[in-house]
C-alpha cells in the first residue's frame, strides 16, 4: 500500500516536471507566433509582451513576408523538389539495392561499399566541386535538384534497402522466375510489395532532410533566381531585410514551420517509427 502511494506521488511529481518542460519546448515557437502579430517597430521594445491594441498588427507582417520572398512560390518549389526526389530515390535506389544484393560479383560489392562510404563523407568535402559540376551540366533548376538529391540520397537508401533485401528468401523470387517473370516483373510484382516498411522509413528520412536542406539548393540554384526553396527564401529575407523588418521575418518563420507541424501531426506514427528504424539500421 505504501509502495503504491509512493509511486503515485513520484508520478505526480514527474508529470509536473514534464509539463514545465513541455512549456519550455514550446516557448520558442510561441514566442515567434506572438511576435509575428506585432508591428515591426514594437517587437524589440517588449519582445515577451502579448500584442495589445497599440502593437497588434494583424496580418500585415504575413502579407509583407509573403510578398518579399514570394513565399508560396518557394513552398511550391520545396514541395516539388521534395516529392519528386523522394519518389526518384524510392524507385531507383530500391532497384539498385536489389541488383547489388542478388548479383554477386566484385563489381557489385565495390559499388555497395562506395555507397556506404559516401554516407560518412561530410557535404563540405564535395560542395565546391559538386556545385561547379552541377552548373556546367545545367542542373541548376528543380529537375536538376531531383537528380542531385537522388545521388546524395543514394548512399543511405541503398544501404537500408540492401539490409532488408538480404533477409528476403530467394525461393519466392525463383518461383516467380520459373513462372516466367522477367527480372522487372519479379522485382515490381514480388519484391517491391515486401519492401514497403523499409520504403516508408527511407521516404521519411529523405523527406525530412531534403525539405529542410539549405546548402545544396543555395549553392546550386542560388539566391538570385526564382527557384528558391523555403530555407533559401528565409535566408534571403534575413540577409537582405532582416535587421529592418523583424515582423516579416517572424511571420515567415511561422509560415515555414506550419507545413512541417501539419505533416508531423498527420503522420506522427510513421515518422517516429521510421526514425527509430532508420537510426537502428543506420
Q: Position of cell 537522388? A: 150
- CB 203, min distance to other proteins, A: 14
Q: Measured from the CB of residue 226, what is the shortest distance to other proteins in angstroms?
A: 19
- Between residues 59 and 103, which has the closer beta carbon with respect to other proteins? 103
Q: Using the rule CB under 8 A, which residue among 9, 50, 109, 133 binds other proteins?
A: 133
Distance in angstroms (rounded) separating the CA atoms of residues 271 and 18: 22
Q: Which three cell numbers stand for residue 114?
A: 562506395
95, 216, 203, 77: which is closest to 143 by C-alpha? Answer: 77
Q: Is 25 in the site for other proteins (CB under 8 A)?
A: yes
For cell 514551420, name the residue: 257
Q: Under the criterion CB under 8 A, does residue 180 sit at the interface with other proteins?
A: no
Q: Are 148 and 216 in contact (CB under 8 A)?
A: yes
Q: Is 16 in the site for other proteins (CB under 8 A)?
A: no
Please, which residue, 81 or 95, has the CB nearer to other proteins?
95
For other proteins, the closer of residues 59 and 261 by Cβ is 261
Asked if 11 interacts with other proteins (CB under 8 A), we say yes
Q: Is 59 or 133 the residue whose CB approaches other proteins more closely?
A: 133
CB of 57 or CB of 234, closer to other proteins: 234
Task: Please list, in sequence order, all residues whose beta carbon lies within 8 angstroms of the beta carbon of residue 230, skipping any fewer than 6 positions away.
Answer: 71, 74, 75, 78, 211, 256
Among positions 61, 96, 140, 206, the unique one binding other proteins when judged by CB under 8 A: 96
**Can you name the residues that pair with 56 across neighbouring β-strands?**
38
Interface residue with other proteins, options 202, 208, 248, 251 (CB under 8 A): 208
Q: Reduced to 3 states, what is the DSSP secondary structure of residue 134?
A: helix
| Minimum distance of other proteins from residue 200's CB (angstroms) | 16
What count of Cα atoms within 13 Å lies in the side-chain half-sphere of residue 257?
A: 12
34: nearest Cα among 51, 55, 58, 17 = 51
Within residues 43-62, the interface with other proteins by CB under 8 A covers 44, 47-48
**Residue 141 sits in the site that holds other proteins (CB under 8 A):** no
Please tell me whether residue 35 adopts helix, strand or coil conformation.
helix
Backbone angles phi and psi of 279, in degrees to 5: -65, -40
Mask for 143-162, x = binds other proteins (CB under 8 A): ----xxxxxx-xx--x----
The Cα 211–Cα 80 span in angstroms is 10
Candidates 60-68, 69-77, 122-130, 192-200; binding stretch for other proteins (CB under 8 A): 122-130
- Using only C-alpha atoms, the chain has a radius of gyration, in whole angstroms, of 24
Q: How far is the CB of 41 from other proteins (least distance, A)?
A: 14
**For the chain, what's the residue count?**
282
CB of 139 to other proteins, least distance (A): 7
Inter-helix orientation angle 268-281/142-165, to 10° = 70
Q: Which of residues 250-279 bind other proteins (CB under 8 A)?
A: 250, 253, 256-257, 260-261, 263-265, 268, 271-272, 275-276, 279
Site membership for other proteins, residue 3 (CB under 8 A): no
72 binding other proteins? (CB under 8 A): no
Amino acid at each position: 500500500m505504501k509502495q503504491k502511494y509512493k509511486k503515485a506521488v513520484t508520478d505526480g511529481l514527474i508529470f509536473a516536471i514534464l509539463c514545465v518542460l513541455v512549456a519550455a519546448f514550446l516557448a520558442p515557437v510561441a514566442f515567434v507566433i506572438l511576435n509575428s502579430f506585432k508591428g515591426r517597430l514594437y517587437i524589440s521594445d517588449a519582445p515577451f509582451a502579448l500584442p495589445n491594441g497599440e502593437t497588434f498588427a494583424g496580418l500585415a507582417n504575413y502579407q509583407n513576408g509573403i510578398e518579399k520572398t514570394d513565399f508560396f512560390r518557394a513552398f511550391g518549389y520545396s514541395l516539388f523538389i521534395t516529392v519528386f526526389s523522394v519518389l526518384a530515390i524510392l524507385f531507383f535506389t530500391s532497384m539498385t539495392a536489389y541488383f547489388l544484393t542478388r548479383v554477386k560479383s566484385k563489381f557489385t560489392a565495390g559499388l555497395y561499399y562506395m555507397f556506404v562510404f559516401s554516407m560518412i563523407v561530410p557535404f563540405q568535402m564535395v560542395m565546391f566541386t559538386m556545385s561547379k559540376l552541377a552548373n556546367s551540366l545545367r542542373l541548376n533548376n528543380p529537375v536538376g535538384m531531383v537528380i542531385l538529391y537522388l545521388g546524395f540520397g543514394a548512399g543511405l537508401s541503398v544501404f537500408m534497402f540492401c539490409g532488408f533485401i538480404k533477409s528476403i528468401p530467394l525461393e519466392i523470387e525463383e518461383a516467380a522466375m520459373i513462372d516466367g517473370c522477367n527480372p522487372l516483373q519479379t522485382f515490381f510484382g514480388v519484391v517491391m510489395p515486401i519492401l514497403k516498411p523499409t520504403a516508408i522509413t527511407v521516404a521519411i528520412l529523405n523527406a525530412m532532410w531534403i525539405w529542410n536542406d539549405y546548402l545544396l539548393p543555395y549553392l546550386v540554384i542560388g539566391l538570385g533566381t526564382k527557384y528558391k526553396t523555403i530555407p533559401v527564401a528565409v535566408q534571403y529575407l534575413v540577409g537582405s531585410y532582416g535587421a529592418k523588418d523583424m515582423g516579416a521575418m517572424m511571420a515567415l518563420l511561422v509560415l515555414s514551420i506550419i507545413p512541417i507541424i501539419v505533416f508531423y501531426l498527420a503522420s506522427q506514427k510513421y515518422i517516429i517509427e521510421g526514425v527509430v528504424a532508420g537510426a537502428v539500421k543506420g
